[in-house]
Amino acid sequence: MAAGNVVAIVGKNYCSRSQANLIVRRRPHVVNGGGFVVTNCTDQKVVFRVDGCGILGTKGELILRNGDGEPLLLIRRKGGIVQAVSMHRRWKAFKIDYEGLEKIVFSLDEPTTVSTCLFKNNSIRVIVNPRMMGNKEKWDFEIKGSFTDKDCSIIDSGGNIVAQVQEGTMSEDVYNVVVQPGFDQAFVLGVIGILDNIHDESTRCN
């Protein structure tokens, strides 16, 4: 992503001119599937939170909220999509407009297969809807690395790293997210909410 560019997917007000260093804190395990809270590094102000099924009461559904608790994205996991030898569960993130209508923002396919080794080195890809990033036949972003180990990156279709998930130092329930200048932090946290759920972490109900 070229310096000075703004990539607003959820909204321009979630794009910063400087690099955003965020801290993700999972809710205590006693709140089953509660989700996580996101603060900035400068003054520990809450900037986002993701509510999981322990709060919402519905599996396969998440809500991304801003620091004031207002909903930004409703995220749902849909049924399986058969593609060749794999089965995909598709996640879709929606914004709710003033009339209560859902408008899709992005989708992400969660691959599952009986032969897990077939996909272990494959990245997860994200498509922005409606298309805002370029060629209609291509994906817009991909996630590479290990979310479980808190060592992964969100990369755009040009090969640029737009955000990174990094291991924290305080406890296993805290990790860091670095978002590059001009890129949409709300989009990044929406994607991370889905990754958290896929990997049976703080948003997932057992």
Give pLDDT tens digits for 186-196. 999 999 999 99
Residues 21-49: tens digit of each pLDDT: 999 999 865 556 689 999 999 889 999 99
pLDDT at 159: 95
DSSP 2: -
Q: Distance of CA 177 to CAs 20, 47, 102, 106, 172, Å?
A: 8, 13, 28, 20, 14
Q: Which residues pair with 37 in a beta bridge?
A: 25, 49
Residues 101-152: tens digit of each pLDDT: 889 999 999 866 433 333 444 679 999 976 665 555 588 999 999 999 999 9
Whether the pLDDT of residue 88 is over 70: the answer is no
Range 93-97 average pLDDT: 89
* Nearest one of 20, 54, 32, 17 to 188, comparing CA atoms: 20
75 torsion bin: left (phi>0), alpha (psi -120 to 50), beta (else): beta
Segment among 6-10, 51-55, 116-120 with least mean pLDDT: 116-120
**Is residue 54 helix, strand or coil?**
helix
- Is residue 204 a contact partner of residue 194, using CB atoms and an 8 Å limit? no
- CATH node for 12-198: 2.40.160.200
- Is residue 190 a contact partner of residue 75, using CB atoms and an 8 Å limit? yes
Whether the pLDDT of residue 168 is over 60: the answer is yes
Domain boundaries, the chain: 12-198
Angle among Cα 134, 150, 112 to the nearest 5 degrees reads 65
Question: Which one is predicted more confidently, 170 or 91?
Answer: 91
DSSP 198: H
Residue 7 has a CB neighbour count (10 Å cut-off) of 19
DSSP 144-165: EEETTTTEEEEEETTS-EEEEE
pLDDT at 116: 38
pTM tops 0.85: yes
Binned at pLDDT 50, 70 and 90, residue 100 comes out as confident
**108-147 residues labelled b (16+ CB within 10 A) or e (exposed):** bbbbeeeeeeeeeeebbbbbbeeeebeeeeebbbbbeeeb
Binned at pLDDT 50, 70 and 90, residue 77 comes out as very high
* Nearest one of 187, 191, 202, 188 to 52, comparing CA atoms: 202
